[in-house]
Amino acid sequence: MQPQRERVKLSKDRNWWRVLPVLGALGLIGLMLVLTFMPSTLDEAHVEASAVALLGSATPSIQPSPTLIAAPFPAWQPEQSAPPIQVLPADPGEFRLATIEPAFTSVPTKDLHDAELLPTIVPVIQQPTTTIPAATLGLQTPTPLPTLTAQATPVGQTHSYAIIVRADTEQYQLVRVAATGFVPIATVDEYAASFMALLPEQQTLLLPRNQSLFAIDIKTGQPRWSMQLLPKNQYEHKAMLTIDQTGSGVYVLDQSSVDASWAWSHHTIQDAQLLAGPSSLTLPGHSHIMTSDGKIWGIEEDKLFQFDPITMAKRDVGALNKNEIVGDGTQPFLGVFRAPTTLSLIDWASGNEQQVALNPPFQGNLLSAMFSHNQQTLVVKSMISSDDPRVDDRYFSSVYNLRTGQLLGISEFDSLSSIYPGITADQWFISSFDWEREQRLVSRWNVATNSLTEVVPASVWGDHRIAWLGEIAGPAINLANSEYQAAVTPLPTMVPMYDQPNLPTIQPPSIQPVAIFGDRLGLDLRLQRLSSDQTLEVLVEEGARLFERYNQPPLVLQHPKLTTWQLLDPVSQQIVEWKFEKILNDESFIDSMLAPNYQSMVVVGQDMRSNDQFIGASQLLQINTQTGEWNVLADSRTWPELKWAKPLAWQGDSIYFLQTSKNPQPLWRVQLGPPFQAEKIAEIPAIVANIPDVSNAILARVYVAPNQRWLIYPLAAANKTMLLRVLDLVKQQSHDIALPLLPLAADALSFSPEGNSFAFMLPTADGSSAPALYQLEQQRWYQLDSGAYSESSESPFLWSPDGRWLLLDFGNIVREQRLGVYNAQQPSLVFSTKRDPLKKPVALYNDGKTLLAQHLWQPSLEQLSWDGQALQIDWRISEDVGLSEEIYYVYPR
């Protein structure tokens, strides 16, 4: 008989404690299951949503989320909240702090020997942003487009005009086009097509002559006023003018060919009374158009922007598919292509925007587009390319109704044809060249009937070229004063570099060495010393490797004999020499490394000694650079990964190696001993990101600070962001810097010579970049300038040898010839000054106010000093050092 089982009642039975072991076992099993199937905290970088938004990533998280590799050291624990980004002022003076709240984001990291996860601090990179008004982005009540009437204006009320380039004089001449020939009006400067206004109603002509703007009374032929323009040459002559909304004033925007600066002003047409300005501007971007409210529209980095020359405010107005702005600024709308075959019409006065889909789409690739005068129609020039070299490309002009987007007419022309709007929406002028008859043809294209009518017989045009052609309503323009038909002085021609006279030499006060230059001839490194008496002395003819030192001349590795090696100080000419028992080729020293105190060197070589215990194919050699003694530390038998390992940094008795044969790449910490120990402390992915909407894989780089204290490498995080992981090899700690996902060039981080900070073009929330300084130990960003800039293939940063001063060359990140010098220890702007576009800064002295500059066209080197107001030339010498050669050392002043 089975004993009866009793049900346990915890609330009444005195033996309830007997079930505790059973419950504990069940709970433990459940916990193990949860831990087994629960997603790891390392599976995704938990970056705060606010930080991601600030970095301008509106894209959803990549699926699957990237795995964040653990840090080899414990994360740095802050004692207080991190400081905000400090924005340096544009002028010397007190700092001004950006209103940014400090924020931290915990990112899981761990030591390989510690199961406990420790938080890593990710400084939030936050920048002030400009809010785009909703009127710009949203579709409000649209401004109605004019109705397409296509009614021809009576012939007596319209006249055709042209700017022709006369075949006999090469002068640009404004003429009225008559049925039998040309009626000369005035000879003008060659940029007149974009810098003139024919105003019959105001009885005024605005024309450029001899680099002056003239307002001419049509009735009397006398000048109302004239205004001197900024200097121009045949290659740089940008200028534009726009009649204001009242019709009684004119906005003038003029650029200098000397320093690329712009001048903006607003005048009355009648007597040139100054209404606003003049203002000196630095305009970003290209394709500028000035509207009748005086604002300037342009394109930068595939984005449309509006610039107010009075407030100096720049406002982004969205991305573009085609880098072109349609319109002349006096019409109610500007047109842009945000999609391949859809035109966006922007009412520049209100900010309203509406879309017009072109139906059917034009053929081929868009070349250009143009409105009719009344903006009832749009003509699109496009090209169909042929892959067959025997078949020519085809060019089309397609006319669309801007109210409906419907195609009205299409015509095929040759590649050199030009099209200009007539007075009505269905009339266009076509200028082409008949190659068989060798004559110019100018026709009126009637879109409604798709017919061409000859405007003037080809014999009248002759060999004259056409710079502009147009049709204007009103009485015929005839100037009683024929003096305006006199020839103008041609714009200056830039003298080729090889024809320019040499710059005069300015002798230095004494003869002294200036700098050591170096370049490679094949595998050999050659170093030359330039002195102020213009002599060049070869210091090293066949160097194998160069080791830079902080605030000292570099050391040069030489290989004078098969088994003999030398380390040379090119300034003191001191040499340390050592010999190997076997031949070691130069390639073995490519990845050699000098200790931070410069007293020892390691290199991975072959079996170099026959009477020791090391017989592995790859061996780690340590060389005493003071005595020349050397010994073998390890070989590939004791540490098999040595054959693929590359030394990165050296701190104390530890050397850090990167093994490049695997992905992810192991990071090794090697204790030199004795005993010798190799320990893998981290794994670094070889590819940061490879996602569908990134055209190329973003490859990882490991950056090493010059003092070998800091290792920095990128890791992918969520929402198209990444982290720069910073390893402090002295304190054995780590921290992370959050950035948007972007490829980093080899010189993206411009380290200070002492190695505790770096300069960087920091991505901002609006998609541009700002020059910034990051202090590694303080973990603090300093934004050096509040402007928005583009990145460049050439670094804009230049450090003084002691790392105290940082020069920022704005000419590398924007078309602005300006230099700024900053105190990098206590970040502040020391001075800012204009830069000669022909002089490239190549070195900054330790005093922070003296620099060396090379002339871009002539072999000369100048020393420039800041006197509190401007850079002054101390001396100029000729030198035969090419611009491709690098300066490795500047002798102290």
pLDDT tens per residue, range 570-625: 999 999 999 988 887 777 787 889 999 999 999 988 877 777 788 888 889 999 99
Contact between 864 and 520 under an 8 Å Cβ cutoff? The reply is no
For 366-382, what is the mean pLDDT? 92
Contact between 578 and 584 under an 8 Å Cβ cutoff? The reply is no
pLDDT given for residue 458 in this prediction = 81
pLDDT given for residue 884 in this prediction = 59
pLDDT given for residue 495 in this prediction = 66
Confidence bin at 814 (pLDDT 50/70/90): confident
Is the sign of the CA dihedral 179, 181, 184, 189 positive or negative?
Answer: positive
pLDDT tens per residue, range 306-317: 999 998 888 889
End-to-end CA distance of the chain: 110
Tokens of 24: 């504990």
What letter does residue 228 receive in the DSSP assignment?
A: E
Contact between 621 and 608 under an 8 Å Cβ cutoff? The reply is yes
Q: Above 80 in pLDDT, residue 857?
A: no
pLDDT given for residue 202 in this prediction = 87
Q: Above 80 in pLDDT, residue 677?
A: yes
- Report strand pairing: 780-783 vs 86-87: parallel
pLDDT given for residue 614 in this prediction = 82
pLDDT tens per residue, range 622-669: 999 999 999 999 999 989 999 999 999 999 999 999 998 888 999 999
Sequence-ordered strand ranges (E) for 67-210: 86-87, 96-97, 106-109, 118-121, 158-165, 172-177, 182-188, 197-199, 204-209
In DSSP notation, 265-317 reads EEEETTT--EEEEEEEE---SEEEEE-TTS-EEEEETTEEEEEETTTTEEEEE
Distance of alpha carbon 140 from alpha carbon 362, whole angstroms = 28
pLDDT given for residue 488 in this prediction = 92
Distance of alpha carbon 682 from alpha carbon 236, whole angstroms = 55
pLDDT tens per residue, range 430-447: 988 877 777 888 888 888
The mean pLDDT of the chain is: 80
Distance of alpha carbon 148 from alpha carbon 202, whole angstroms = 27
pLDDT tens per residue, range 231-265: 988 888 889 999 999 999 999 999 988 878 899 99
> Please, which residues have CB within 8 angstroms of residue 627's CB and are 6 or more apart in sequence?
576
Strand partners, 740: 721
pLDDT, greater one: 336 or 12: 336
| Ramachandran angles phi, psi of 781, nearest 5° | -95, 140
Sequence-ordered strand ranges (E) for 5-144: 86-87, 96-97, 106-109, 118-121
Tokens of 243: 């009649």
Confidence bin at 86 (pLDDT 50/70/90): low
Strand partners, 219: none
Q: Above 50 in pLDDT, residue 803?
A: yes
Amino acid (1-letter code) at residue 163 = I
Distance of alpha carbon 794 from alpha carbon 884, whole angstroms = 13
pLDDT, greater one: 106 or 345: 345
Range in 15-19, 756-760, 885-889 with the lowest mean pLDDT: 15-19
- Per the listing, tokens 């700098």 go with 515
Q: Above 60 in pLDDT, residue 377?
A: yes
Element at 677 (helix H, strand E): strand 677-684
> Please, which residues have CB within 8 angstroms of residue 773's CB and are 6 or more apart in sequence?
757, 758, 759, 760, 781, 782, 784, 806, 822, 824, 827
Strand partners, 579: 564
